[in-house]
Structure 1
Amino acid sequence: MSAAKSIESCAQFEYALSAYVDGELDPDHAVDLESHLVQCPPCFEQVKVLRSLRASLKRAKPAACPNALRARVAASIAHEQAREAAQAFEARPRLVHRGYAAALAVAAGVVFMVGVTRQRAAAPPPEAAKSAAKMDADAARAESVEILLDDLVTQHAQPLPPETTNPEDLPRFDPFVGVPVRRPEFQSMPVNFMGARVHTMRDRRAALLQYVVRGNHRVTVYLFNSRAVPVQKAQPILQPRVVRERPVYVGKINGYSVVAAERSGVGYALASDLGDDLSTQLVLAAMQ
Structure 2
Amino acid sequence: MSAAKSIESCARFDYALSAYVDGELDPDHAVDLESHLVQCPPCFEQVKLLRSLRASLKRAKPAGCPDVLRARVAAAVAHEQARGAARAAAQAEPKPRLIHKGYAAALAVAAGVVFVVGVARQKPVTSPQEVAKAQLGGSGNESVEVLLDDLVTQHAQPLPPETTDPEDLPRFDPFVGVPVRRPEFQSMPVNFMGARVHTMRDRRAALLQYVVRGKHRVTVYLFNSRAVPVQKAQPILQPRVVRERPVYVGKINGYSVVAAEDSGVGYALASDLGDDLSTQLVLAAMQ
User: How would you bin the TM-score normalised by the shorter chain?
Assistant: 0.5 to 0.7
CA contact (8 A) 1:176 1:198 kept: yes
Rounded to whole Å, the distance in 1 between the matches of 2:191 and 2:279 is 18
SS in 1 for 2:8: helix
Are residues 1:244 and 2:243 paired?
yes
Partner residue in 2 for 1:203: 202
CA contact (8 A) 2:31 2:159 kept: no
Segments of structure 2 that go 5 or more residues without pairing to the other structure are: 46-135
Percent sequence identity is 81
Partner residue in 2 for 1:8: 5
Partner residue in 1 for 2:35: 35
Partner residue in 2 for 1:169: 168
Rounded to whole Å, the distance in 2 between the matches of 1:144 and 1:10 is 33
Question: Structure 2: which amino acid aligns with 1:143?
Answer: E
CA contact (8 A) 2:10 2:43 kept: no
Q: CA deviation at 1:12?
A: 1.7
Question: Structure 2: which amino acid aligns with 1:12?
Answer: S
TM-score by structure 2 length? 0.59
Rounded to whole Å, the distance in 1 between the matches of 2:141 and 2:245 is 21
Q: CA deviation at 1:14?
A: 7.2
SS in 2 for 1:142: helix
Q: CA deviation at 1:164?
A: 1.2
Would the alpha carbon gap of residues 196 and 205 (structure 1) be closer, same or farther in structure 2, given more than 3 Å must change?
A: same
SS in 1 for 2:173: helix
Partner residue in 2 for 1:84: none
Partner residue in 2 for 1:190: 189
Question: Structure 1: which amino acid aligns with 2:161?
Answer: P
Q: How many pairs were matched up?
A: 193
Give the superposed CA RMSD. 3.3
Would the alpha carbon gap of residues 157 and 168 (structure 1) be closer, same or farther in structure 2, given more than 3 Å must change?
A: same
Rounded to whole Å, the distance in 1 between the matches of 2:275 and 2:188 is 16
Alpha-carbon deviations, 1:1-49, whole Å to 9, x = none? xx78x952553227989xx9xx9x83768864541365x5xx56x899x
Rounded to whole Å, the distance in 2 between the matches of 1:243 and 1:194 is 28
Question: Structure 2: which amino acid aligns with 1:263?
Answer: D
Rounded to whole Å, the distance in 2 between the matches of 1:152 and 1:218 is 13
Question: Structure 2: which amino acid aligns with 1:35?
Answer: S
Rounded to whole Å, the distance in 2 between the matches of 1:13 and 1:166 is 27
Which aligned runs of 4 or more in structure 1 are off by greater than 3 angstroms?
A: 14-17, 27-34
Partner residue in 1 for 2:257: 258
CA contact (8 A) 1:188 1:285 kept: no
Partner residue in 2 for 1:234: 233
Based on CA coordinates, which of the two structures has the bigger radius of gyration? 1
Q: CA deviation at 1:225?
A: 0.7
SS in 1 for 2:192: strand
Partner residue in 2 for 1:62: none
Partner residue in 2 for 1:143: 142
Q: CA deviation at 1:178?
A: 1.1
SS in 1 for 2:139: helix
Q: CA deviation at 1:159?
A: 0.7
